[in-house]
């Protein structure tokens, strides 16, 4: 019961404390405005390139922007505790570590879903893109699963924040890697083989593929393999992130470097 409380209430309070600077004047331009223009930008580059329809770019980018909250949010959640010198106070408690760290991921996951939903909405309003009512819940499910896998990946980056100094460099870099490797704007079959191999183990790739197939008329059963793969990749990153967090916590205690900046 205590772990459930730490998971939900701890995660909520941590988000409010660490992201207290998020005023709507900051949130709207950064988390909504920038990503919306990302969708428009790539849709127009796609038109110029004569590559695919607007639908291809709206789905690719609207699913991809769900990663922003997960990756930056989790990097900031764990790095933020270090920055505000509160990490020791948290890690000295006997709280269940799984509940402690994964509870902090939930608000970031939800944030990713909100950002992605706005992306789809703007794509529908401004570009040549639409979904049928039956496709919307399936795509919503895919976005939740993809946002989970991206948040798990972000937790792994955040775990490196317990050891590394410039974790935001890595977080920024991964956003660009996702844009290139995960089939967000370039069809996977247009990428060299070695890039396709990498894309298979990254979050986003299978989620985007599934969402595109649903928009083309496939049912949930048709894309269940892709959705399960996306979920499995997310669970693998979550498990790896948890192992890293415990490792760096143990090592930080041993070396007394938990809050060394």
Question: What are the C-alpha distances in Å from 153 to residues 39, 80, 187, 190?
Answer: 22, 17, 23, 25
CA-based radius of gyration for the chain: 19
Query: Nearer to other proteins by C-beta: 128 or 166?
Result: 166
Closest to other proteins by CB, 68 vs 145, is: 68
Q: Cβ 26 to other proteins, closest distance in Å? A: 5
The set of residues, in sequence order, having a beta carbon less than 8 Å from that of 171 and lying 6+ positions away, is 71, 72, 75, 154, 157
Taking the complex as a whole, the smallest distance from the CB of residue 191 to other proteins amounts, in Å, to 7
Q: Can you tell me the distance from the alpha carbon of 199 to that of 177, in angstroms, rounded to the nearest whole number?
A: 9
Q: In this complex, which beta carbon is closest to other proteins, that of residue 47 or of residue 213?
A: 47
Place of tokens 């919307």: 136
Residue closer to other proteins, measured from CB, 16 or 165: 165
HSE on the CB side for 243, CA within 13 Å?
6
Cβ-proximal residues to 88 (8 Å cutoff; 6+ apart), any chain:
258, 259
Shorter beta-carbon distance to other proteins: residue 8 or 41: 41
Q: Please state the closest distance from residue 38 (CB atom) to other proteins, in A.
A: 5
Quote the DSSP letter at residue 29. I
The site for other proteins (CB under 8 A) is made up of: 23, 25-26, 28-30, 33-34, 37-38, 40-41, 44-52, 166, 168-169, 172-173, 176-177, 179-180, 185-187, 190-191
Distance in Å, CB of 178 to other proteins, minimum: 10
Q: How far apart are CA 210 and CA 142, in angstroms?
A: 7
Pair 43, 133: CB distance under 8 Å: no
CB of 31 to other proteins, least distance (A): 9
Specify the residue, 51 or 90, whose C-beta has the smaller distance to other proteins: 51
At closest approach, how far in Å is the CB of 91 from other proteins? 27
């Amino acid at each position: 019961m205590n772990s459930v409380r730490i998971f939900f209430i701890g995660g909520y309070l941590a988000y409010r404390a660490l992201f207290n600077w998020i005023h709507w004047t900051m949130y709207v331009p950064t988390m909504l405005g920038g990503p919306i223009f990302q969708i428009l930008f790539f849709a127009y580059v796609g038109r110029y390139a004569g590559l695919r329809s607007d639908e291809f770019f709206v789905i690719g980018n609207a699913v991809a922007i769900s990663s922003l909250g997960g990756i930056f949010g989790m990097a900031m959640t764990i790095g933020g505790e270090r920055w505000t010198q509160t990490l020791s106070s948290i890690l000295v408690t006997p709280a269940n570590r799984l509940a402690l760290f994964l509870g902090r991921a939930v608000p970031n996951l939800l944030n990713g879903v909100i950002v992605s939903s706005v992306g789809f909405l703007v794509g529908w309003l401004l570009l040549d893109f639409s979904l049928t009512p039956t496709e919307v819940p399936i795509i919503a499910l895919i976005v939740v699963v993809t946002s989970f896998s991206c948040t798990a990946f972000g937790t792994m980056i955040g775990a490196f924040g317990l050891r590394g100094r410039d974790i935001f460099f890595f977080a920024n870099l991964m956003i660009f890697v996702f844009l290139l490797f995960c089939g967000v704007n370039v069809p996977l079959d247009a990428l060299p083989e070695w890039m396709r191999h990498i894309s298979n183990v990254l979050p986003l790739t299978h989620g985007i593929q599934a969402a595109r197939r649903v928009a083309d008329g496939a049912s949930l059963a048709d894309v269940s393999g892709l959705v399960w793969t996306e979920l499995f990749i997310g669970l693998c990153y979550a498990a790896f992130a948890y192992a890293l967090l415990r490792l760096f916590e143990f090592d930080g205690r041993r070396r007394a470097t938990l809050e060394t900046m």
